[in-house]
Amino acid sequence: MPVDGSATSTLVMAALATELTCTALVLKFGNAIPSWGQVVLGAGVVAAFVTVMITALRGYRMEQESPAWLSVEPEGLRVLDRNSRPATFLPHHQISSLELRKVPVGALLIGISNGRRLGIRLRLLDTAEDALRLADEIRARIAALPEGADQLEALDKRNAAGARVASAWPHLTCVVVLILTAVAALQMGLAATDGEWLIALGANSGEKILQGEFWRPWTAGLIHLGFLHIAMNASGLLLTGFLIEHLLGSARFGLLLGLSSLVGCIASAWALPTQTGAGASAGITGAIGAWVGLHLWRREELPASARLSMPDLVALLVVIAAGDFLLPQMGHIAHLGGFLAGLALIPLLVHRVPLHELSQRVPAAIHRAALFVGLTYAAALASILVAALRLV
């Protein structure tokens, strides 16, 4: 049966594997990597990210063929793949979503309750209208089930959430990535990517915080250790933004990102007061923690394009944990603090609001909190610029 794993799983695993590999190279060879080498590695990270993003947007693996034949029967779908294996039967009650995607490759995506999905390419149908008629026929079969009305209601809600995930670029995420990239470019222009230069710009340091420099958990999340570091974190932020910002809305996602980064930096400063740290990775792991939380508390509302099967979810957490423990130079305390913050925040951010309505229903308290956190980071950015002027 031509049903692949969630495209989100492919995207996450490939991006994380690329990031961990490049991080290992930097940590192993350190300053032996010249500037041009860091640029090449960073370009590789970005290229890998673009590749896996295209894979995810297609809705199925690139090498996966669509079914050669599909029949809608009263009790379910009978599917025959191109390898002439015996036809597979998919009961209607296991169908969780029906999404018509037009770009980059047209397909009718049939989500299945276990988090997997079946992609029927539109080129195998005569027109997009044929896909709509096929979807309507499947919906009619579902409606005839004893609990068909409830299944269709849940299906429509997941489709609405899935349409947002596949719609436009996540605007807040793109703005944050541009800001982080601009700050990193300023650092590289000043050659301020290590040692005392990082401390002068606002890198995280428990000792400095205890001396009264309380702003460091904010500024540390905005500066990076070089081109490769910003390339990895920018790709990770775009990855999580595509998944989470469209689900939560910009206000909730911004609040989640800012608070997770703060908690991660504070935890790292408290646990490792003599260590210097920097980077936006605590916020990224906070977004991953929120995504895990959505699987725990709102799994049934997640669209197929943003949902992992439980084995894939466990594998994701194992990859992240293995990276932190096998590469102890990484900010594992900051990552853990950010992850737990995101996991704890998500029940509060989505409390009593259906997942498909999160973008439209934003309480005034969340708006105010997001604005306040945003202003504190704007002040941190101004602090970095002032420090940079002093270094010139």
| pLDDT at res. 31 | 56
Over residues 334-339, the mean pLDDT reads: 93
In three-state secondary structure terms, 59 is coil
Residue-wise pLDDT tens digits, 90-101? 888 888 777 766
In a domain, 150, yes or no: no
Residue-wise pLDDT tens digits, 143-190? 988 888 888 888 888 877 777 666 667 889 999 999 999 999 888 888
Look at residues 115, 121, 124, 164 and name the one whose alpha carbon lies nearest to residue 7: 115
| pLDDT at res. 24 | 58
| pLDDT at res. 167 | 63
Q: Please check the confidence at residue 268 and state whether its pLDDT lies above 90.
A: yes
Lowest mean pLDDT among 2-6, 10-14, 261-265: 2-6
Please tell me the total count of domains within the chain.
2
Give Dmax (Cα) for the chain. Answer: 74
More reliable by pLDDT, 391 or 371: 371
| pLDDT at res. 105 | 47
| pLDDT at res. 180 | 95
The reply to whether 140 and 174 lie within a common domain is no
The tokens describing 86, both together, are: 């015996």
Q: Please check the confidence at residue 347 and state whether its pLDDT lies above 60.
A: yes
Name the band, by pLDDT with cuts 50, 70 and 90, for residue 136: confident
Which residue type is seen at 369?
A
Look at the block and give the residue holding tokens 């709509």. 132
Spatial separation of the C-alpha atoms in residues 317 and 7, rounded to whole Å: 17
CATH number, domain of 96, equals 2.30.29.30
The reply to whether 353 and 238 lie within a common domain is yes
Spatial separation of the C-alpha atoms in residues 109 and 115, rounded to whole Å: 12
In a domain, 53, yes or no: no
Query: Which of 83-87, 285-289, 314-318 is the most confident on average?
Result: 285-289
Residue 249, phi-psi category: left (phi > 0), alpha (psi -120 to 50), beta (remainder): left
| CA 3 to each of CA 48, 66, 102: distance values in angstroms, whole numbers, following the listed order | 24, 9, 19
| pLDDT at res. 283 | 94
Residue-wise pLDDT tens digits, 27-70? 555 556 666 666 666 666 666 655 555 555 444 333 334 555 67
| pLDDT at res. 350 | 93
The reply to whether 112 and 185 lie within a common domain is no
| pLDDT at res. 284 | 92
| pLDDT at res. 206 | 92
Name the band, by pLDDT with cuts 50, 70 and 90, for residue 346: very high
The reply to whether 282 and 335 lie within a common domain is yes
In a domain, 61, yes or no: no
Stated pTM of the model: 0.77
Q: Where in the chain does DSSP place strands (E)?
A: 3-4, 69-73, 76-80, 88-91, 95-101, 107-112, 117-121
Q: Please check the confidence at residue 338 and state whether its pLDDT lies above 50.
A: yes
| pLDDT at res. 107 | 64
Q: Domain containing 197: what range? A: 168-391
| pLDDT at res. 189 | 83
Over residues 120-142, the mean pLDDT reads: 73
Q: What is the mean pLDDT of the chain?
A: 78
The reply to whether 290 and 340 lie within a common domain is yes
Look at the block and give the residue holding tokens 């469209």. 246
The reply to whether 99 and 212 lie within a common domain is no
| CA 360 to each of CA 90, 101, 170, 363: distance values in angstroms, whole numbers, following the listed order | 34, 23, 15, 10
The reply to whether 74 and 186 lie within a common domain is no
Over residues 355-362, the mean pLDDT reads: 84
| pLDDT at res. 173 | 93
Lowest mean pLDDT among 53-67, 172-186, 244-258, 351-365: 53-67
